[in-house]
Structure 1
Amino acid sequence: MSKLARKKLILWITIGIILIGGITSLVFLYLPPSHKSIAGTDGTKMKFQTSGDKFLRYDGNGNWKEIFVKGVNLGATVPGYFPGEFPATEEDYLRWFKQIHEMGANVIRVYTIHNPVFYKSLVKYNRDKGENPLYFIQGVYSQEDQLIETKDALGGGIPKSFEQDIDKAVKAVYGDLDIPVNAGFAGGKYTANAGQYLMAWHIGTEWDPEMVENTNKVHAGLPPYLGKYFSATAQASPFESFLATMLDYAATKEHEYGWEHPATFTNWVTTDVIKHPGEPLFQEDMVSVDATHVKAVSWEAGYFAAYHVYPYYPDFFHLDKSFQTIPDGKGGFNTYKAYLRKLKAYYKDLPIMVTEYGVPSSIGVSHIGPSGRNQGGHSEAEQGKIDASLTQDIYDEGYAGSILFMWQDEWFKKTWNTMRLETPADRRSFWLNVLTNEKQFGLVAMGSGKSDQIIIDGKLDDWSKLPADQVKQWAKVAPGIKNMRVTHDEAYVYIGLDLDKTFDPNQSQIYLGSDTQSGGDQPKIEWPNQTLSDGLEDLIVIGKDEETQVKAAPSYDFHRRLYGDYGYWMLPKATAKDKVEFQPWKLAVSLSMTPPDTRSAHPFQDAVVGALKRGTTNRSSADFDSLTSWQYSGNQIELRIPWMLLGFSDPSSKQVIDYSALKTGRTFTTTKTEGITFVPWIVDRKTKKVESSNPNKATLDMKKQPQYTWNPWESVKYTEHLKAGYYDMKDIYAKLKK
């Protein structure tokens, strides 16, 4: 062989080795390593199984061992996107999987099919984890909107659509799906077989009680469904038969891939199996969906019950005296634990998991729970302690597992007491409204873009590091204020003040009026004898800790417009003072309940959310408080004001709530704003006099006041941090046996 021929041969051998290595790598990626399982009687593989009220894991050595399932729910979004856009990348998933696993969790739950990258990333992450991988529970969404609209689970093609979604989910898990990518849905080519890392199937969503009741009524007399793997019992309602049908279909489809995994359907307190005699709302006790009315007939992996249980909803958690049986050690009662105990007593022969629970870290609050376990109003530190205590309650009551809601904050979420003010709704994901508590349930804080750049600590030195075009400054904006600077991000308007002298809240009080549109009110009480050329919408008050807050102008008070004179008439009639004095910024937390519309009467409740908390946002400080809104140091004051407190319905498109909308009370519309005009003044506490550059009290020209403007945005920047709750959950997981 010639020298040239030998070189060519060596070259081709080398290329062949590289190609074989690449192909081998791909095979290893998409075919998981041998993961010890056990064969059922018909040869199907199993790794998890239920027995009695226990959830078991095969140890690979011939033994089934009881485990306590510890996990978190994982969403598919990051800020700036809605769920159907599935923006999470392999880098995101691998980072999250590592953090979740290191926290001590053994499972993540997903509600629906993710894009192929999720399953590929999970297989890749677990490659070197041996017998200690991170498992997942695969959920399948039901046709929620159609179910609520038709109120019939067995009509309108719903069963067929649900079966199609189940089929897609099974194929996606086993890497055997290729579907077009359509807006709002996961899609693509699924080639990664993640079946060996599946823990269970979890089908459906929280069931609307009126839909369940109507399904049972319309299909009364329907014989129980009898399937190959799952059947309904003789006591099953038509809706429970529907669920048995869907579980049987899921089992049938999975069996084709040679595996069996435990299965369940979603349930929640509203359609639970126990009575809540102190619950005021009829629909919370309207109908039950009973997991014991479905059974696994030849599905060796088994079956379990799953509930979403939050400590503040429904209202019976803080109203029903029949649940006030277990002291909380604080002078009150742990009604959450009492509820868990009653529910577990019912499901004494079936494993039961709480697959959603937790509280959010947010300024906003929307439901009151006993022992301070409210839906919102918690710092990250408070959130973590509550989440850990709820986990302990679930474990102590003999449940098979707890899956916390949730892993990451979700900007797109909405809640009942702020959603009217967030318009247009299709832009919710472009800004972080910290008054909407649903957005901040995560163990991972998805903070706004400047939350790492501007540390609220009363010192303005970090502002100089921002690009000059991102900060607007004005000198000598009012007597006593030599400099004012303003910037913003997706969550806040930031304000920095340099005063002529050291700030002492015992000696002076600072006001910052804000104006975004024509109209508004004069600060007649707050700045007597002074007229502005245009009114104010809101007023930032800076003083003692209990005084510092954002107040709404009387004619721009959304809360009173919605629940007072022009709305639902739940607030007392406005007094003469209410009509001229700027009002505390409030949100409703419970509406009036009056028989016969409700079973019992309960008054309207609201909460002040405009209070500004003094502290620091420095995460490396022992004094860090995620709810911090302001701080002062020497002659400097620093604030961050949530957008909604200034009347914004969508700052990303510069939209504010319009005055014309307020005249109708219950309906809110928006108008575009040019920006925020600020009117600052200082009041001497001793003399009660305003330090004014307008001693003759001539009308103050608002056009000469500092106006902050910005460009609309279509993309967002965000920061990602592990909250205190991450470490609290890590500690509690380490203490739990099994």
Structure 2
Amino acid sequence: MKKMSKKLSLLALIGTVAAAATAYSFWPPTAKVESAEIEEGVRAKFRAEGSQIEVYADQAWQPYFAKGVNLGATTPGHFPGELAVTKEEYMRWFGMIQEMGANVIRVYTILKPEFYEALVAYNAKRDGDPLFFIQGVWSPEEQLIEGQDAFEPDVKRQFEQEIRDAVGAVYGKAKLEPDPHSGKASGTYIFNAGPYLMGWILGTEWDPKMVDRTNRLHPDVPAYEGVHFRSKPEASPFERWLAEMVDIAAQSEREHGWQHPIAFSNWVTTDPLEHPGEPLFEEDLVSVDPLHVEAVDWGAGYFASYHVYPYYPDFFAFDATYQTMTNDEGEIDSYLAYIHRLKQHHRELPIMITEFGVPASQGVAHTGLLGRDQGGHNEARQGEIDRELFRHIHSEGYSGAILFTWQDEWFKKTWNTLQYDVPDRRAYWYNALTNEAFFGVLGMYPSKAETILIDGDPSDWERLKDGEWKSLEMEAAGFEDIRVSHDEGYLYLLLRLSEPFDPARQTVYIGSDTLPGGNRHAEELRGLTLDEGLETVVELSGEEAGRIRIASNYDFHTRLYRHAGMEPVDPQALRDDSGLFHPWRLVVSYKLEYPDSRFEHPFKDVDVGELIRGTSDPEDPDYDSKAMWQTDGEVVELRIPWMLLGFADPSSLQAINYEDVKNGKLGTSFVDGVLLFPWIADNTTGELIGMPSGSNAEPYPVSTLPLYKWEGWEDVDVKYVERPKQSYYLMQEAMKEVNTPVTEGAP
């Protein structure tokens, strides 16, 4: 018995040691930062002091400038509520973010426990150089917009609970139950990331109609006098509501022995400035002023947070009252003038721009002064603009500039393409026309982005595996070989011609057919008539750019907006087989007229069908992220964004159909694939010099050509390539040149 007892004791000891080792391996060291005790039992690392944010370091309070990026909640193939980012991805990203020169990340909502665990584990290895974070608290946005009343009891209850849950999650003192319908994080939070917190930002961009209605519904709501925050006498009812929410956050955090600066989210639409050149009443309807809330017993203080982009609202582009300052290049700069005035208004408070930037995308949604459009940029131009804006924000004496955003987000929608796609499948494909998806400096590219390089070199096609490409087996004069492939973002073509291609003398055309209808004849067909119509036609010629155009009776843009302010459309263009191909356009502003707006504002659209000639090889010094085709000798390589071919969702083979617009949206049809019809024309004679055999038939039997088919895919099939964009390195340059805020001569 004694021998047995010793054996059991030894096994028990081994088990205890093993359990302890296992627990230690999953439990990072306790978060530690230098901090100040601002009152008995309460510590602070950051504080708002006067008009600056300060950090406690080297046993003293010092000015601090937050150089940051906003961090999204998911990856391609997933929607934000799925919170698909792993601990390993967070750890890798944190290193890349800090290497870019950032010292802060901002998250919008409670993330899953792995985020806080990863941040503590990452910072434990940083030896006194941690990456800090700003924790956002998501307000019940949908209910606020639907109910138009912030004081509605259920809205208040939800927001208050979300604030308390966020504080608990940050300090590792929360257990959030899963709710499959909420899209919110859940789990047990045991890792205390509080010492690495820089501050809090409550809420989202406030709907101006909701704010205005809340104010009108509750004119007699009393001023809020809280434990740590209160509303000032001039505060509106909505601002009094905000004072209470900020106070709840402060009360909740103090229970954990810490204080951090707190702000609520705001944007240009509800700022306290006037925008006399803004045509939309709603964009200047009501203000939410951070100066109408104040801290009364909160040593860490309070700051203002704004999202400011250079192209929205529209007054940035043409309001003369904001075209009053010039930048270092001597150019009139409305963005600089705006942030200058905003800083002047907030002289009593530290203020940060917590969203700014432009996307690198084919699509465009708004135009701005100095070409700072919402989209239409390649990665290099994106980085140049982001860098300019960052430097403006710093030079104007702000306390921080948080770039939007870290990673591309495929699930995003935007106002001028959401009528064209399938909402519940947006996350499964890379829609180059939806600019909102491509604000990141960390690119999330479709799976063949580094397998098929658009550079005129066909060797990468030889390295593709069986089944990754198909040959269009057709006899074609002028063509030796035609290969097709695809991924989540593009249809790829490799054309090997019989003779070297000279874009100055020749034009290569590729027509596409997905649905019954389209153009069976057209000027581009040089007298040829087809038995089946084409929905789009690609035209490759010239030294720098080609283009894709869309059959006029299939043109989604015309069908949606021909009664909304567009130039008059020829009735012939709306008929089947019109013979006309229109530019591929997206609307960027609606026509507005008094009294629906302050003054008239013209309808405006832009051509997004330009196909840039260049190279998509990121290792090439001439890399252009928007490059769509290249030629070298007999070889022509091309990639075409799916939506430009008429696809609402390539992952389920749904194309936009010809049916009339219903409820402001176009319908879709399932298709078997896409038929591709290539031909070559001589630019000097106008004659056809190459096309598939069968040209003696009349009409030409294009319907007998092989169809390119593919299997649809679901979320689990989505693959992507992660790579820093050129904009990452340009922002790295800007961030690393800035260490402290501007204090001398600041506005």
Taking structure 2 as the reference length, what is the TM-score of the superposition?
Answer: 0.95
Segment of structure 1 superposing worse, 16-25 or 290-299 = 16-25
Q: For residue 699 of structure 2, what is the aligned residue in structure 1?
A: 699
Q: CA deviation at 1:531?
A: 2.1
Corresponding residue number in structure 1 for 2:297: 298
Q: CA offsets per residue over residues 323-343 of structure 1, 9 Å max, x none? A: 111224666411111101101
Residue 726 (structure 1) aligns with: 728
Taking the aligned partners of 1:472 and 1:15, their CA distance within structure 2 comes to: 58
Aligned-partner SS, 1:365: coil
Matched, 1:713 2:709: no
Q: In structure 2, how many angstroms separate the alpha carbons of the residues matched to 1:5 and 1:188?
A: 40
Where structure 1 has 5 or more consecutive residues not aligned to the other structure, the ranges are: none
Q: Which residue of 1 aligns with 2:65?
A: 68
Matched position secondary structure for 2:451: coil
Residue number in structure 1 paired with 2:512: 514
1:281 aligns with 2:280: yes
Please give the secondary structure, in 2, of the residue aligned with 1:612: strand
Asked if 1 retains the 8 angstrom alpha-carbon contact of 2:199 and 2:261, the reply is yes
- The one-letter code sitting in structure 1 at the alignment partner of 2:162 is D
CA distance in 2, matches of 1:507, 1:233: 72
Answer with 432-441 or 504-513: which moved more: 504-513
Call closer, same or farther: CA 1:687–1:20 in 2, change over 3 Å: closer
Classify the secondary structure of the residue corresponding to 2:712: coil
Deviating more after overlay: 536-545 vs 310-319: 536-545
Pairing 1:89–2:86 present? yes
CA drift at 1:15: 4.9
2:499 is aligned to 501
Number of aligned positions between the proteins: 731
List per-residue Cα deviations over 1:62-102 (Å, max 9, x = no partner).
x1111101110001100000000011101100000111111
Kept in 1: contact 2:552–2:573 (CA 8 A): no
Which of 97, 100, 118 is 1:100 aligned to? 97
**Is the 8 Å Cα contact of residues 477 and 483 (structure 1) preserved in structure 2?**
no
What are the superposed Cα offsets for residues 694-718 of structure 1, whole Å, 9 maximum, x if unpaired? 4545122233213100001002000
1:43 Cα deviation after fit: 2.4
Aligned to 2:231: 232
Out of 115, 140, 143, the residue aligned to residue 140 of structure 2 is 143
Output the amino acid matched with 1:304. F
Distance 1:561 1:87 in 2: 38
Map Cα deviations across residues 362-402 of structure 1 (whole Å, 9 max, x no partner): 01111111111111011111111111110000000000001
Residues 58, 519 of structure 1: alpha-carbon distance in 2 compared, 3 angstrom cutoff = same
Which structure 2 residues correspond to residues 166-181 of structure 1 after superposition, within 5 A?
A: 166-181=163-178
For 1:620 and 1:325, the matched residues in 2 are separated by 42
Q: Name whichever of 681-690 and 112-121 sits farther off.
A: 681-690
Tell me, yes or no, if structure 1 residue 638 matches structure 2 residue 637.
yes
Q: Contact 1:323–1:339 at 8 Å: present in 2 too? A: yes
1:592 paired with 2:596, answer: no
> Does 2:489 correspond to 1:491?
yes
Structure 2 counterpart of 1:378, which letter? Answer: H
Question: 1: distance between equivalents of 2:475 and 2:95?
Answer: 51
Structure 2 distance, partners of 1:651, 1:104, is: 38
Distance 1:522 1:25 in 2: 68
Q: Percent identity?
A: 47
The letter of the residue matching 2:38 is G
Provide the C-alpha distance between the structure 1 equivalents of 2:706 and 2:670, rounded to a whole number of angstroms.
19
State yes or no: 1:684 paired with 2:682. yes
Counterpart of 2:269, as a letter, is: T
Matched, 1:78 2:75: yes
8 Å CA contact 2:535, 2:554 repeated in 1: yes
What per-residue deviation string (whole Å, max 9, x for no partner) do you get for residues 669-695 of structure 1? 000000100111111222211135445
What residue in structure 2 maps to residue 398 of structure 1?
A: 397
User: Mind listing any 5+ residue stretches in structure 2 that lack a counterpart?
Assistant: 741-747
Alpha-carbon displacement from aligned partner over 1:304-345 (angstroms, at most 9, x marks no partner): 000000011011111111111122466641111110110111
SS in 2 for 1:486: strand
Q: Aligned letter for 1:713?
A: W
From 52, 55, 58, give the equivalent of 1:57. 55
Q: 1:497 to 1:35 in 2, by over 3 A?
A: same
Matching residue's letter, 1:724: Q
Deviation of 1:506 (Å): 2.1
Does the 8 Å CA contact 1:278/1:316 hold for their aligned counterparts?
yes
Of residues 570, 573, 579 in structure 2, which corresponds to 1:574? 570
Q: 1: distance between equivalents of 2:51 and 2:531?
A: 71
Q: How does 1:153-552 map to 2 (within 5 A)?
A: 153-183=150-180, 184-328=183-327, 332-423=331-422, 425-545=423-543, 548-552=546-550
Provide the rounded CA distance (Å) in 2 between the counterparts of 1:251 and 1:502.
Answer: 71
Can you list the C-alpha shifts for 1:37-79, whole angstroms capped at 9, x where unaligned? Answer: 2112242111111110010111152x11111011100011000
CA RMSD of aligned residues (A): 2.0
Q: Shift in Å at residue 569 of structure 1?
A: 4.0
Task: Give the residue type in structure 2 aligned to 1:118.
Answer: F
Residue 725 of structure 1 deviates from its aligned partner by: 1.6
**Whole-angstrom distance in 1 between the partners of 2:731 and 2:579:** 48
Tell me the equivalent position of 2:559. Answer: 561
Partner of 1:111: 108
Shift of 1:156: 4.6
User: CA offset at residue 150 of structure 1?
Assistant: 1.1
Partner SS, residue 589 of structure 1: strand
The residue type paired with residue 188 of structure 1 is: G
CA distance in 1, matches of 2:695, 2:248: 80
8 A contact 2:551–2:580 mirrored in 1: yes
